[in-house]
Amino acid sequence: MSKIFFSMSGEGRGHATRVRAMVEALRQEHEITLFAPGDAYSFLWPLYGGSEVRVRRIEGLHFSYTSACRLNYRLTLGDALDYVRQLPGLVQSLCDIIQREQPDLAITDFEPGLPRAAKRCGLPFLSVDHQHFLCTYDLSGLPPRLRWHARYMALVVQAYCSGQAETVVSSFYAPPLRPGQRKVTAVGVLLRPEFSAIEVEEGEHLVVYCRRFASDDFLCALAATGRPVRIYGLGERPRAGKLTFHAISENRFLRDLAGAAALVCTAGNQLVGEALALGKPVLALPEAGNHEQFINAHFLRESGAGDWVELEAVRASHLAAFLNRLVDFRRHINPKNMNGLPATLEVIRRHLHTAKQRVPALAPALA
């Protein structure tokens, strides 16, 4: 049995969902500790608190939004500067834990503290995330504006995490790798174990996932479809005609999605990939100012498996046009290509085998 440390970003649920997929596949064989901030901790602690999988809360970056649902760059930057000031203390505390518990391998999903501590202590680590597509994929086919944003975001990704033994990029799209990329494995999205047993049907209802916000115009547009619409992410509310509002529940959400006609959601990689794995067309709604989501939306449209419209601009006409094309979208979905978990586990097990060959204990960390 090996000992594995995982860390992840705490913003949104995609990072924690990927980590959970890996943990469920590895927990019977290995001793696992999760270092989770923000949303990730809120998601993972109820699942694993009190089990053999340990969950520890750490500090993480946080995105702030305006009342108009736009990313608030001023507040987000202020939070980021506070986090940078706290980062050395976080790294040192993680170094202390590494020295005390002597893990065999660290794995990070876009969290900067654990990889820095691992490098300082001589602990091998892997990067398993979506964001490294910015550094490894050939994005020359993007529109010029998105290509420019991708270049500067790649610098941020490299600052977050570098020096890993291997990079696993999890994505629902797979353009070629840039020339010269080494120790990079491109895989699909990491599917939770529940996917193997879910029964997929083609129903009439739509599933909608929003992060925090939904304007009255958006809700009116959903109502205008005339279909039952099951909305997640806004909390429980009274029914409004055919619109029903549900608290986040992994199992119920998955069942609803498996029986849906389509998914309407923010343009996060993990959720879009999960829908495509179930054969569901997606209307992606990238959030204003979130350039990564616009890149995801671009590749969704390019794939022919769905379409996109900016969250603030969506109207009934956009939803009607999307629903009129469901048959065509379904023809372009290949669910068999979506599950990247087996290839990811192969990478992890290979590095665990290599790590077990190391005889010396981890080096003391320098303060």
Indicate if 213 and 325 belong to the same structural domain: yes
The Cα–Cα gap between 75 and 68 comes to: 14
Indicate if 149 and 10 belong to the same structural domain: yes
Indicate if 225 and 78 belong to the same structural domain: no
Cβ–Cβ under 8 Å, residues 119 and 17: no
DSSP reduced 3-state for 295: helix
Q: What's the domain count of the chain?
A: 2
Indicate if 318 and 302 belong to the same structural domain: yes
> What per-residue confidence (pLDDT) applies to 364?
62
Indicate if 162 and 304 belong to the same structural domain: no
Indicate if 175 and 205 belong to the same structural domain: no
Sequence letter at residue 57: R
Residue 364 has which token pair?
């003391």
pTM over 0.85: yes
Indicate if 202 and 317 belong to the same structural domain: yes
Mean pLDDT of the chain: 91
What confidence tens digit (pLDDT) does each residue in 262-321 have?
999 999 999 999 999 999 999 999 988 889 999 999 999 999 999 999 988 999 999 999
Structural domain that includes position 152: 3-190+340-356
Angle, helices 14-26 vs 38-48, to 10°: value is: 30
The confidence band for 211, taking pLDDT boundaries of 50, 70 and 90, is confident
Which DSSP symbol is given to 257? H
The confidence band for 367, taking pLDDT boundaries of 50, 70 and 90, is very low
Indicate if 121 and 266 belong to the same structural domain: no
Indicate if 180 and 224 belong to the same structural domain: no
How distant, in Å, are the alpha carbons of 12, 37, 58, 239, 278 from that of 247? 15, 21, 25, 13, 22
**Domain presence at residue 366:** no
